[in-house]
Amino acid sequence: MRTTNKQRRIFLSYFSSLGLGSTLLPGVLWGQLQQSGQPEVTPEMLKNALAMSGLSFTDEQQKAMVQSANQNLTRYRAVRDLRIPSNISPPSHFSPLTHGMKVKRTREPLRFSRPAVKRPAALDDVAFWPLLDLAHLLRTRQVTSLELTEMYLSRLHRYNEKLNFVVTFLDDLARQQAKQADAEIAARRYKGLLHGIPWGAKDILAVKGYKTTWGSAAFKDQVLDEEASVVEMLRDAGAVLLAKLSTGELAQGDRWFGGQTKSPWNTAQGSSGSSAGPASATAAGCVAFAIGTETSGSILSPSARCGVTGLRPTFGRISRYGVMALSWTHDRLGPMCRSAEDCAAVMSVIAKPDDRDLSVSDIPFNWNAQTDIRKLRVGYIVEAGEAEMRPTDLATLRAVEGLGIKLLPVNIPDWTLDVANYGVESAAFFDDLVRSGRTKEMTNPGRADTFRNSYAIPAVDYLQSQRARMLMMMKLAEATKHVDVYLAPAAVTPANTGRGANAPDAAPPRRQGATQRHSTMANSACYPAVAVPNGFTETGEPTSISFFARPFGEAELLAVVKAYQDATGFHRKHPKLDA
């Protein structure tokens, strides 16, 4: 067939954007180039690729196209030879805000609860205490940071064989930091709620001088000459780092080069992921809190599986500097804790700009434990009648109404397009890994297929998908503009009634519905969410429900969750590890 001038312009636009051509053409040309071992595209390669693509051009046009392809290959090789450091992101920075969204930019004093607790006879009894209770013991010098650190280190070593949640123990570093915290507290230089509190970091956060493995055999000996901003912030606040906790390989799932991380509620079951270790270790009372990361469910899902309170903040709340990237426009860091107010305590330290991750906004996190939640607009996603709701979710709605709140319906718009497309960004971050052939060293080499597949996505189509993403964000903003916080109860079938929310691999597939559609939309729109324990299955495993808010509404979100948790107490339950 012969192409029209319009078709030729469209084709050349794709060709120029990739240096390779249309959606089919890149793979054909790339395959021929790789198979031949030649350094450049030849006219014969282009003719074969055009024939398979159903396109036809004149000899002069083909000559120009070959020249253009090879010019672009030269440019791309020069960029690849640059060896861009992993902590460099593209200069375009995503914002979760859409036109007309209002956020509070006035900074207000932080107001936390002030518990009054006494040290128990056996220190191990505080292993599952909320962070704020531990902070009171430390501030009043009923316990030392070194005592807490030794207790948690002992538990980490004791239960790691059963749960497999530690990649690297940091015992010496932890003891050093704990002794420093004790000296500062004794000298009346108390830094705040995290001073002397032991914590764990997902092993995609860089800690200078120690291994950062990204959960992959291909990187199991990697030591980065940098430190994640969040690690620095927590250290400066006096927190004590105990261990690098497991992540599913390259931030996917709960399997890493050391095996599978387990749920402390059921060791026959994985902890879900990819923040597998942070969820499992926190739920098992082996750290006071942990930092996880999420691109698409990696905080919410393991939090739900393990029964912890996990906050996925708004994109732009917390710096990702020094953290492995899967998507520069989706990745978020967040606290995984025992309660909503514990999450607020961690947020008060890490939710601020660092002048390294330029996507971070200087929007204050104004936590007030005394917030009158009856003045907030709280809603729920309308998906099904009460008869089709999971019993635990229905009970959650009733409990929230019992707080004096009139729940408002939230109708999620119809949207079926997948606009995430973050595989392109993942492929860019792991380009060196793919091109070097070291993917064969991975624990699961098939994980690299998603990166390779992204090479065939035209640049124009990728950008068009991001424009569609903005359109989706506008629709979601319109649908949620009448609420500050809202719940996402899920419709169920008899086969999965009572199973945990946000754990798709733990139960038979749910039917497609508003809640599932919303989950995809809210993730790509980068809305904040909290996975909250809300009951138990017949077999004694925790169930969970997610609360959401509009961008930068974490303080209101956590205030509603705190009130719910104070009224119900499900978050205070913990697994019996020695049973």
Which residues are the active-site residues? 202, 274, 298
In contact, 542 and 265? CB cutoff 8 Å: yes
In contact, 32 and 26? CB cutoff 8 Å: no
3-state secondary structure 370-420: CCCHHHCCEEEECCCCHHHECHHHHHHHHHHHCCCCCCEEECCCCCCCCCC
DSSP state of 467: H
Q: Whats the size of the chain, residue-wise?
A: 579
Nearest CA-CA partner of 428 in 526, 329, 332: 329
Strand, helix or coil at 548? strand
**How many angstroms separate the CA atoms of 345 and 363, rounded?**
16
Residue 380 CB coordination number (10 Å) = 24
**What is the Cα 84 distance to its own chain's centre?**
24
**How many angstroms separate the CA atoms of 470 and 96, rounded?**
9
At residue 258, what are phi and psi to the nearest 5 degrees?
Answer: -95, 5
Give the residue carrying structure tokens 């930091």.
177
**How many angstroms separate the CA atoms of 579 and 129, rounded?**
20
Q: For 516, what's the count of Cα atoms within 13 Å in the CB-facing half-sphere?
A: 12
* H helix and E strand count, the chain: 18, 15
Q: How far is CA 148 from CA 212, 345, 522, in A?
A: 25, 18, 38
Give the residue carrying structure tokens 């974490």.
554
In contact, 261 and 273? CB cutoff 8 Å: yes
**How many angstroms separate the CA atoms of 349 and 403, rounded?**
29
Give the residue carrying structure tokens 């434990």.
369
At a CB cut-off of 8 Å and minimum separation 6, what does 471 contact?
Answer: none
Give 132-139 contacts, CB < 8 A, sequence gap 24+. 132/193, 132/339, 132/341, 132/342, 132/345, 134/197, 134/288, 135/193, 135/194, 135/195, 135/197, 135/345, 138/181, 138/185, 138/195, 138/196, 138/197, 139/185, 139/190, 139/195
The amino acid at 257? F
**How many angstroms separate the CA atoms of 300 and 302, rounded?**
6
The amino acid at 291? I
